[in-house]
Amino acid sequence: MTEQIVRANGVDLCVETFGRPEDPAVLLIMGATGSMILWEDDFCRALAAAGRFVIRYDHRDTGRSTSYPPGEPGYTFTDLVEDPLGVLDALGIARAHVVGLSMGGGIAQALAVFHPDRLITLTLVATSPAGPNDPDLPPMAPALLEHFAAGGTPLPDWSDRDSVVDHLVAANRPFLGPRPVDEDAAKALAGKVFDRSPNVASSHNHLLVGGGEPWRERLGEVRVPTLVAHGDSDPLFPLGHGEALVAEIPGAELLVLPDTGHELPRGVWELLLTRLVEHTERGPVTAQG
């Protein structure tokens, strides 16, 4: 594990790597408001142990990357798409296997459409070709709609660690599937999120960001091998969103994650890692370029 600050796309981004640089590079892109540590250490270590050079990074406004005042994102979605390219450039990597979760999956789709030369393969986890409100895709689960209609999870005192930790754990619950939750582990991870960030409230800037070219109508142009992994109990993007991606991306394959919501629980790591290792065996032997 090596954590470093790199200058990419005009900002400072915190990057951490696992494994040997000479192995094929796998770039992990987290979802909205999420720092890189939500790609948990053990998941990254297991992927590295399978012969992959694993790269994760903090989005702007998360972790140790450049932060902006809450409510004032100084960037667009296009910048969030360009940032991972800057990470690869800083590491001297020409092409990578790209894995994106939720908003990170949107970023990964945009990369595959607008920067296809930088990808070896594409893996999309718990994401959508258009978002939760598209009329031709399944709507959010009723319980989640009711949660948002009631105002969502109350905001904490952002300066108080215990308040923020409790808030992060509570805010995640409506998105989970039926698997039991290790509350102690969830609180420990939320505590690390707080400790690594100058202002966790700034991560909500992701929800305010606009801009960027639409890509759904161009998914048919994607030519890199694509794996779509989707929970069968995802309340934000029901399984039909993953099925739409498979239908619209040529040759894409679907991996259904059982008893899984809008999340990546430990109980499906082995299943996903096995398929991900097989999927990323395609392409160049090394990722340095």
Indicate left, alpha or beta for 181 from its phi (over 0: left) and psi (-120 to 50: alpha).
beta
DSSP state of 93: B
Q: What is the DSSP letter of 70?
A: T
**pTM, full prediction:** 0.96
Give yes or no: 89 in active site.
Answer: no
- Whether 62 maps to a domain, the answer reads yes
**Residue 240 sits in which domain range?**
2-138+199-279
Residue by residue, pLDDT tens for the chain (289 residues) are 678 999 999 999 999 999 999 999 999 999 999 999 999 999 999 999 999 999 999 999 999 999 999 999 999 999 999 999 999 999 999 999 999 999 999 999 999 999 999 999 999 999 999 988 899 999 999 999 999 999 999 999 999 999 999 999 999 999 999 999 999 999 999 999 999 999 999 999 999 998 888 999 999 999 999 999 999 999 999 999 999 999 999 999 999 999 999 999 999 999 999 999 999 997 643 434 3
Question: Which residue is catalytic, options 23, 167, 234, 279?
Answer: 234
Split into its structural domains, the chain has a count of 1
Local structure of residue 155 (DSSP, 8 states): P
Has residue 241 been placed in a domain? yes
Give the 3-state secondary structure of residue 192: helix
Q: Choosing from 102, 128, 202, 203, which is the catalytic residue?
A: 102
Please indicate, yes or no, if residue 182 is contained in any of the structural domains: no
Q: Print burial letters for 265-287: b (CB count within 10 Å at least 16), e (below 16).
A: beebbeebbeebbebbeebeeeb
Pairing status of strand 11-18 against strand 2-8: antiparallel
Question: Degrees (nearest 5) of the Cα angle 230, 236, 238?
Answer: 45
Strand ranges across the sheet with 11-18: 2-8, 11-18, 53-57, 25-29, 96-101, 119-125, 226-231, 253-257
Catalytic residue chosen out of the listed positions 59, 230, 262, 279: 262
> Looking at residue 191, what DSSP letter applies?
H
Whole-number pLDDT of residue 150: 97
| Residue 262 annotated among the catalytic residues of the structure | yes
Integer Cα distance of 62 and 70 in angstroms: 11
Q: Is 85 part of any domain?
A: yes
Query: Can 184 be counted among the known catalytic residues?
Result: no
CATH number of the domain encompassing residue 108: 3.40.50.1820
